[in-house]
C-alpha cells in the first residue's frame, strides 16, 4: 500500500514515521520531498585502485565539501545528503525518485530504496548532466514514496549506515 498525504500526516503525528526537520513543503499528495543538505562528497579522479573490503586512504578517492551551493560538473558523480533525518518503522519502505525538474536538466540518480527500519540522513548518488548545474542547500531534490509492507519485515535494517548523519561515504568493511 502506498501512503498518501493523509496517511503520511497520520504516521508523522503518531511518530510511526519520524522526519526532522519538516516544513509545509515536505508532504505532497503521494509522498514527501526532501531537501539538499550542506555537504557533498566528490569522487577524485585517480589511477589508484580502490580495494573493496580493504582499508583505503579515503582522501585519495573522495573529497568532502561543505557549503550552501554546489556545482555538479558535466557527467560528474557525487554524493549528496538530505537536510532531513528519517526514521522508518519495520513495516515501511521508501522508493526514492529525483524531482522531475532536475531530471529534465539531465541530472540522474540510480534506483534507490530506503529499507524498513532505517534511520538517518539519506545519502544519494547523483550523476551530472551534459552541462554544469548549480544545486543549492534547502532545494527540494528527491521525492520519497512510502510503501507499507503487509507485515513487519523479519529483519529490519540494522546495517552499517544506520543512524548516519550528513553525507556518508562507502563503508567497505564486511562487504563479503
3-state class (DSSP) for residue 99 = coil
Query: Given the C-alpha cell 529499507, which residue does it identify?
Result: 115
Query: Given the C-alpha cell 562507502, which residue does it identify?
Result: 170
CATH assignment of the domain containing 105: 2.70.40.10
- How many domains would you assign to the chain? 1
In this predicted structure, what is the pLDDT of residue 50?
Answer: 82
Read off the pLDDT of residues 94-120 as tens digits, 9 standing for 90 and up.
999 999 999 999 999 999 999 999 999
pTM above 0.75, yes or no: yes
Query: Given the C-alpha cell 528519517, which residue does it identify?
Result: 86
Q: How confident is the model at residue 41 (pLDDT cuts 50, 70, 90)?
A: very high
- Summary mean pLDDT of the chain: 93
Q: Provide mean pLDDT across the span 4-13.
A: 96
Residue 80: inside a domain: yes
Nearest-10 Cα torsion for 7, 23, 165, 68: 150
pLDDT at 176 over 50: no
Residue 142: inside a domain: yes
Q: Provide mean pLDDT across the span 31-46.
A: 95
Residue 156: inside a domain: no
In this predicted structure, what is the pLDDT of residue 53?
Answer: 66
In this predicted structure, what is the pLDDT of residue 168?
Answer: 87
Residue 170: inside a domain: no
In this predicted structure, what is the pLDDT of residue 2?
Answer: 95
Looking at the annotation, which residues are catalytic? 125
Residue 160: inside a domain: no
In this predicted structure, what is the pLDDT of residue 61?
Answer: 87
Nearest-10 Cα torsion for 15, 18, 19, 20: 90
Residue 51: inside a domain: no
pLDDT at 5 over 70: yes
Q: Provide mean pLDDT across the span 11-30.
A: 95
Domain extent at residue 23: 5-45+58-148
Decide the pairing of beta strands 140-148 and 31-43.
Answer: antiparallel
Residue 70: inside a domain: yes
Residue 19: inside a domain: yes
Question: Where on the phi/psi map is residue 90: left (φ > 0), alpha (ψ -120 to 50), or beta?
Answer: alpha
Amino acid at each position: 500500500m502506498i501512503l498518501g498525504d493523509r496517511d503520511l500526516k497520520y504516521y508523522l503525528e503518531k511518530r510511526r514515521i519520524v522526519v526532522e526537520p519538516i516544513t509545509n513543503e515536505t508532504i505532497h499528495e503521494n509522498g514527501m520531498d526532501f531537501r539538499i543538505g550542506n555537504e557533498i562528497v566528490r569522487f577524485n579522479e585517480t589511477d589508484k585502485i580502490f580495494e573493496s573490503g580493504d582499508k583505503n586512504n579515503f582522501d585519495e578517492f573522495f573529497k568532502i565539501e561543505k557549503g550552501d551551493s554546489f556545482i555538479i560538473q558535466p557527467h560528474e558523480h557525487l554524493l549528496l545528503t538530505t537536510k532531513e533525518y528519517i526514521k522508518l518503522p519495520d513495516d515501511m519502505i521508501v522508493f526514492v525518485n529525483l524531482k522531475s525538474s532536475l531530471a529534465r536538466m539531465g541530472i540522474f540518480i540510480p534506483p534507490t530504496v530506503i529499507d524498513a527500519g532505517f534511520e538517518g540522513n539519506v545519502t544519494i548518488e547523483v550523476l551530472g548532466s551534459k552541462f554544469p548545474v548549480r544545486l543549492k542547500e534547502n532545494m527540494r531534490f528527491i521525492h520519497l514514496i512510502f510503501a507499507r509492507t503487509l507485515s513487519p519485515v523479519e529483519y529490519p535494517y540494522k546495517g552499517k549506515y544506520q543512524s548516519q548523519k550528513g553525507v556518508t561515504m562507502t563503508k567497505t568493511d564486511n562487504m563479503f
